[in-house]
Structure 1
Amino acid sequence: MTKYIFFIVLAGLLASNGSHAQLPAKTDKAVTTPTVESAPADEPKPFDKFFKPAMKVTPGVFPVYQDGNKYFLELSAALLNSDVLILGDVARGYASNISRSSGVVRFSLGSGNVLNVTRAVYKEASSPDFNGGIEELVQKSNLEPVSFVVPIIALGKTKGSYLVDITKQLMDGGDFFSFKEVSSLSSPDPSRSSVQKVTAAGDAVVFSVLRTQTVPGQSVNGSKPIDRAMAYVLNLVIQRLPSRPMPVREADARIGFNNVNYNDFGKSPYGVRNVKVITKWNLEPKSADYKKYASGKLVDPLKPIQVFIDPATPTVFVPYLKKAVEQWNVAFRAAGFSNALVIASGNQENWLSYGKILINWGNASRGTVTNTVVDPRTGEILAGKINIDVNVSDELLASYFAKCGFKDPRIMKDLYNPEVRGEIMEWKVAQGLGELLGMVPNLRGSAAYTISQLRSGSWLNAHSISASVTDDTQFNFVVQPEDQVETRNLMPRVSVYDKMAIGWGYRIFSDRLAEKKATGALKINNAELLFLDENNSDPFTRKGDLSNDHLAASELGMKNIQRYYPQLEQLTAAMAGGDEEWKKFKLIAKAYQISYQLYTDNVLSYIGGKSVRPVLRNYNEQGTVYTPKADQKKAMLLLNTWLFEGAPDWMQSKRMNLLNEESETIKMGKSAQDALRKFITPELLNNLIQAEYALGKAAYTVSDLFDDIDHYIFRDFNTTEPVNDTRMLLQMNFIYDLTAAVKKNDITAGLSESSQVLHLYFIRTMKQLGELAAKHQDAAAREKYQMIKQKIERDFGQKVS
């Protein structure tokens, strides 16, 4: 790791006589707009004039003095000009946020009896690689921005310390603990808010605060609006941070971590270079263990990451959350650490603060919710939080049943089996912990393995269904009834890529060469260790995909739907508790339909598919990989079978048609229309045009796409081909969408390659539509084509020949 000297920047230019051109310092929108509170008219009171015997004192690094409903914080001389963590967290209430005002601040003595508060926005640094004398020059050329000030009320008890009134900061947020981004917490009423508890713990003081406000109601259809009173319990933390910043690890495009960046004046001879460093926790060996660590033996870190599990978590699920933590402890062995994460015992410090991860129970209706607080100097993750509750598992139970539940007798018998719910929570917490450890979701992980590997019990025992638990795939939907696969291999878990990424990100290398050797071992053709950024054009960085062959995987998934969907009424009737109100049937049937849509979407992603890879010396020279023509041709054939031909007979559930407002036919028609609409977007057409430039005749071209649409949708405009209602509706909607796309990409506003091919295809299609309207042998079909022609001419002003 590299040592850096960091500077807080407001504005400043390098000295004009230096070897660098003048560079304006970067600004950051996250900087709090400076606010000025009027200073006290008089000098700060001496401590003996301030202190009252009736005051309640909470001693500690940050002593707190309570005088009735007023709260005063004492800041010692040692705390001035040092880094302090300010953190606001929703402990109870319908929100999962860490306040955006959370972060690193510094207190310094200002003029006029105030303390200046500076929010850390580090945008410039000087590493020791080059330009050794630049540090002093950069330091002299920069000023510290004052974010806001707080009046000094009195001198502190110890020499050089000061007392400030933080009542307003606690009750309604102020500049320290603001939740302005949460509408129901943005304007608390101090008269209905209170500090419930003040606790000193280690280097921190924690305030448990009740904030209450009224949210104005909204009128619905003329009804009288009803205001709502909202209440939240917040944990508000002020904590001293270590004086020695964590050494940084520069980012690498081959391994997915979040990062912070700044301009480094020491990275380039006589120049400046933007540097990205990864976000991570500060783990290091104990001083006595360095030799052991350097020899490759496992050691416990000096300060492990503490993981607190909310005591409100139902007891039945606690073991599964602990298993999720242990999954990552296994990964940390690759970095040389054992017990990197320690599940803390006891509830006395169960709040979010420096060096802690809090697994909070509640407010996870949208799935697990993760939050971190990061030191902008080094990328050090200071604290992290994940929210989870029973909704996370319950929303996935039906999906699990639909995709691979036939391999799990527990859920076939009981949809809400507690063991299955716990295992889903274990997976989701493990996934969320990856983000809290600094990792970016590697959506390429689920495409690492072949179909045969995903159906092999022995392979899955060693590798899981995805190379990374951070990938947002769900369950092993390619497995078949005859496969010998255990239930543990139906869900993702921490796997090969995760271990590699943690090993690189958290290992302390002996020098830069050792670090480069680790990344130099990565090869582009190693599918398990390949990281790719999410890309909407890449079929293999999709959420919900599985295997390196989406076509074969989707066919296997469809086989399972076809096998079990027709049996659903009998299956739910046999479940524990029965299904007299058809709730379970409806829930699982919907999950089958969503799975059907997922498999067709995975196939659809092949059309115009383009994968972007990092180009690095000795790693990869080909920056773009296009989906092979043969795969795109097969994809179109499958889409015709599953979408364009309408809902198959086995998907026509009479029971679902009775329970739902829309039939399977209508839903399938909408899905088919969405797919066809994607085919005529500029993004997809441009991908095909670029592929033709790169591959020539080997590419699946725009012409191939339009020919396939003509063939599968319009039956080659054959005037003798019968047209049923489903196909007629599909043709009509596509022609309307095509006309709208041409209008939107009007060539008079500027000619692009995608708009040109789209207009040429439109002209061709309109001419053939005219032929159908005039010559189709079916009179009813002729009338409908004539109606389409008239509607286009009327609504879009487009003449159809």
Structure 2
Amino acid sequence: DYSQDPYCMAEDSLILRWDMSKTLTFYVDTLFPKEYFQAVKEGVSAWNTAFRKAGIHDALQVKYANKKIIPAEQRAFISYDLKMPGIKSDLTHHPRTGEILSCRLNIGHGFLKGRLDDYLLSCGASDPRILADRYSKEVEKELLQNEITEEIGHLLGLRGSLSESSCGTTLKVGDDDCLAVYFGYHPFKGCENCYDEREQLRQWIDHHLPDRIRLFRSSEEEKLDTGFSKDYAIRISDLQTVVSRLDKIVYKGKKGDRGSSLNDIYRKAIRLYGSYLVEIAKAVGSSQPAEIQHQAMLDLDTYLFHPAKKMECAYVKENLLEVRNHILYPELVKLFKQLLSVKTISALRLQALRSDRKAYDDIDFFQDLYEGLFNGFDPSSAVTYEQMDMQLICLETWLDMIQEDAKHNGMAKRLKDELYHLCGRLEKLSTTHPQVEVRDMYILLVERMSQYFHVVS
């Protein structure tokens, strides 16, 4: 702040919040479809539970605007956009007090189609409503209500986001959110102005703020705490169930659009599968226990390197509507970049130095990678063409990572040393493996690696 000191800039802190001495009414655009009004109302009103616990009753209301209501003059307005799909919001606040002066929530027409597809892929295995009707109105309104509830949290000044709702349930304002609202909005006694209130809030932070309130934690800290709490292996299994019957869900016996509708959602499904694999890979080199990091590599083996059931829709494959691997392989590049990054390898090496618990180190990681992707270098194990493709993707990514990580000499050297070890094992398999195509493939890989060693030496 340049106004507090005539000679220099002063740092200050603010909490963004509304003046709740009177009810905050969200007026809804008259053009907004009436069939969705109740979902919007319930999405906003969900926060009244938190305000009641903070000692404020009837804090939020939702009303349709009328001809007498001028949108620009209202503190809170929900508009309906026929052109730009999606939900967007913004707020204005006083730069010195932090008081939120106004907010706008824009709901764009047509965005729910994409949300329904996402919901089908992520929750279709456990919610029969979306399987029976891909455009279920009940689910559609539920998704809109959840989005409104989360967006209102941001417009109330909360920095964190609500925890995800489980499939088939509406999003709830949880205990942490109630604590956050209590912290920011509980009426103060004996304060003459907003600056007195700010001093009380600072005392709360120093002496009374519960540890689990997330108001002052960064998104990275949030991600670190919650990023691996989801069971992505179960998500992949559920996604397989939906993808295997995707044509029956999309068409319901009618296939008159030459596959375009099925293509769109199928591509989204395969990319989602790839993103789940990357999330599993993020456990490696994380702060999670050694057994969880090891299990992540086992999950990659189960759902990618040696899947008992492929992520595939028979109708798409038989009718040549889409080539799955063309969509999946770019996602696998992201996967191997995650596993072979400086950040991951550095973390694994540091874990080996910890004596307080059993560590999962870089040696364990490469052993698990070889066991899954390269069949433990067992010459008697059959190698599929798809597995050879993944081995090639891994190798090319590996070489790229060495070049990118050249400035991190220690990590680049570790990757080079391990690549040299891999080269020796594949060179041996290039003469002993019973599959001719595998031997030919490994000869090419060894030549690729040997050429690289010659260049860097």
Give TM class, smaller chain. Answer: 0.7 to 0.9
Q: Distance in 1 between matches of 2:425 and 2:399?
A: 14
AA aligned opposite 2:284:
I
How much is the aligned-residue C-alpha RMSD, in angstroms?
3.4
Contact 2:85 2:107 in 1 (8 A): no
The structure that is helix-richer by fraction is 2
Residue 80 of structure 2 corresponds to residue 361 of structure 1: yes
Distance 1:798 1:708, change over 3 A: farther
The 1:734/1:360 distance shift into structure 2, 3 A limit, reads same
1:594-630 per-residue CA deviation (whole Å, 9 max, x = no partner) reads 5534543332221122xxxxxxxxxxxxxxxx11000
Matched with 2:361 is 701
Residues 537, 377 of structure 1: alpha-carbon distance in 2 compared, 3 angstrom cutoff: closer
8 Å contact from structure 1 (residues 364, 387) kept in 2: no
| 1:395-444 Cα distance to aligned partner (Å, 9 max, x none) | 111222233346555433432233322221111111111111111233xx
* CA shift digits 1:533-591 (9 cap, x unpaired): 3229945444xx7xx3x3xx33433443344443343444448xx55435654455455
Aligned residue number for residue 350 of structure 2: 690
| Separation in structure 2 between the aligned mates of residue 682 and residue 659 of structure 1, nearest angstrom | 42
Give the aligned partner of residue 241 of structure 1.
none
Do the aligned partners of 1:310 and 1:361 also contact (CA within 8 Å) in 2? yes
Q: Deviations over 1:109-135 (max 9, x none)?
A: xxxxxxxxxxxxx4353xxxxxxxxxx
2-structure distance, mates of 1:538, 1:514: 26
Q: Shift of residue 346 of structure 1? A: 2.3
Which has the larger strand fraction?
1
Distance 1:599 1:781 in 2: 29
Q: Does 1:277 align with 2:156?
A: no
CA 1:422 to 1:499, structure 2 compared with 1: closer, same or farther past 3 Å? same
Counterpart in the other structure of 1:731: 391
Distance 2:150 2:158 in 1: 10
C-alpha contact 1:643 1:669 (8 A) present in aligned 2 = no
Give me the whole-angstrom Cα distance separating, in 2, the residues matched to 1:736 and 1:327.
Answer: 50
Partner of 2:295: 634
Greater Cα radius of gyration, structure 1 or 2: 1
Q: Is the 8 A contact 2:86 2:109 kept in 1?
A: no
Q: 1:601 aligns with which of 278, 281, 301?
A: 278
Are 2:48 and 1:329 equivalent residues in the alignment? Answer: yes
Given that 1:375 and 1:382 are in contact with CA atoms closer than 8 Å, whether structure 2 keeps it comes out as: yes
Structure 1 counterpart of 2:447 = 790
Residue of structure 1 in register with 2:219 after alignment? 534
Determine the structure 1 residue equivalent to 2:146. 427
1:476 corresponding residue in structure 2: 166
Find the aligned partners of 1:407 and 1:731 in 2 and give their Cα distance. 34
Give the structure, 1 or 2, with the largest relative contact order (CA under 8 Å, sep 6 or more).
Answer: 2
Matched, 1:316 2:23: no
Look up the match of 1:645.
Answer: 306
- Deviations 1:251-304, CA, capped at 9 Å, x for gaps: xxxxxxxxxxx72xxxxxxxxxx3322222223xxxxxxxxxxxxxxxxx2x33
User: Partner residue of 2:194?
Assistant: none
The 5 Å alignment of 1:99-248 reads 122-125=1-4, 138=5
Contact 1:352 1:384 in 2 (8 A): no
The match for 2:188 is 509
Instruction: State the 1:352 CA deviation.
Output: 3.4
**Cα distance between partner residues in 2 of 1:740 and 1:687:** 20
Q: Secondary structure at the match of 2:426?
A: helix
Q: Distance in 2 between matches of 1:380 and 1:606?
A: 40
Distance 1:521 1:580 in 2: 63
Other structure's SS at 2:218 match: coil
- Alpha-carbon distance in 1 for matches of 2:55, 2:114: 37
Distance in 2 separating the partners of 1:663 and 1:710: 27
- 1:43-122 residue pairs with structure 2 within 5 A? 122=1
Structure 1 counterpart SS, 2:145:
helix
Give the structure 2 partner of residue 755 of structure 1.
Answer: 412
- From the superposition, tell whether residues 688 and 645 of structure 1 become closer, same or farther in structure 2 (CA, over 3 Å): same
**Aligned equivalents of 2:356, 2:335: Cα separation in 1:** 26
2:158 is matched with 439
Specify whether residues 718 and 566 from structure 1 end up closer, same or farther in structure 2 by C-alpha distance, changes over 3 A only. Answer: closer
Tell whether the 8 Å contact from 1:644 to 1:672 is kept in structure 2 after alignment: no
3-state SS, counterpart of residue 101 of structure 2: strand
- Using a 3 Å threshold, how does the CA distance of structure 1 residues 785 and 565 change in structure 2: closer, same or farther? closer
| 8 Å Cα contact 1:412-1:571 kept in structure 2 | yes
Query: Is 1:381 the counterpart of 2:100 in the alignment?
Result: yes
Query: CA–CA distance in 1 between the matches of 2:215 and 2:127?
Result: 31
Alpha-carbon separation, structure 2, partners of 1:319 and 1:365: 22
Inter-partner Cα distance in structure 2 for 1:402 and 1:413 = 14
Deviations 1:83-136 (A, max 9, x none): xxxxxxxxxxxxxxxxxxxxxxxxxxxxxxxxxxxxxxx4353xxxxxxxxxxx
Closer, same or farther: CA 603–539 of 1 in aligned 2, 3 Å? farther
Output the amino acid matched with 2:174.
S
Contact 1:384 1:436 in 2 (8 A): yes
Mapped contact 1:789–1:800 kept (Cα < 8 A)? no
Is the alpha carbon distance of 1:629 and 1:604 closer, same or farther for their aligned partners in structure 2, counting shifts above 3 Å?
same
Q: CA deviation at 1:698?
A: 1.6
CA displacement at 1:712 relative to structure 2: 1.3
Gaps of 5+ in 2: 191-198
Identity of aligned residues (%): 20
Q: 1:499 aligns with which of 155, 158, 178?
A: 178
Of 390, 398, 415, the residue aligned with 2:117 is: 398
Contact 1:742 1:762 in 2 (8 A): no
The answer to whether residue 412 in structure 2 is matched with residue 722 in structure 1 is no
1:500 and 1:750 map into 2 onto residues whose CA distance is 44
Q: Distance in 1 between matches of 2:260 and 2:95?
A: 49
Classify the secondary structure of the residue corresponding to 1:275.
coil
Is the 1:364–1:388 contact (alpha carbons within 8 Å) kept by the matching residues of 2? no
Cα contact 2:246–2:313 (8 A) shared by 1:
no
In structure 2, relative to structure 1, the CA distance for the partners of 1:375 and 1:514 (3 Å cut) is closer
Q: Is the 8 A contact 1:532 1:541 kept in 2?
A: no
Q: Which residue of 2 aligns with 1:569?
A: 247
CA distance in 2, matches of 1:306, 1:587: 40
- Are the aligned partners of 1:793 and 1:800 in contact in 2 as well (CA < 8 Å)? no
Q: Decide whether the 8 Å contact of 1:688 with 1:702 is kept in 2.
A: yes
User: Are the equivalent residues in 1 in contact too, given 2:130–2:139 (CA < 8 A)?
Assistant: yes
**Matched residue SS, 1:716:** helix
1:554 matched to which residue of 2? 232
- Do 2:245 and 2:313's aligned partners in 1 also have CA atoms closer than 8 Å? no
**Separation in 2 of the partners of 1:536 and 1:662?**
39
Paired residue type of 2:339: F
Tell me by how many angstroms 1:517 deviates: 5.6
The separation in 1 between residues aligned to 2:281 and 2:224, in whole angstroms, is 9
The CA deviation at 1:361 is 1.0
Amino acid at match of 2:58: N
How many residue pairs are counted as aligned between the two chains? 447
Cα displacement string for residues 690-743 of structure 1 (whole angstroms, at most 9, x for unaligned residues):
333445662211221111112211223334443221122211221222122112
Alignment-mate amino acid for residue 783 of structure 1: D
Contact 2:332–2:393, Cα closer than 8 Å, also in 1: no
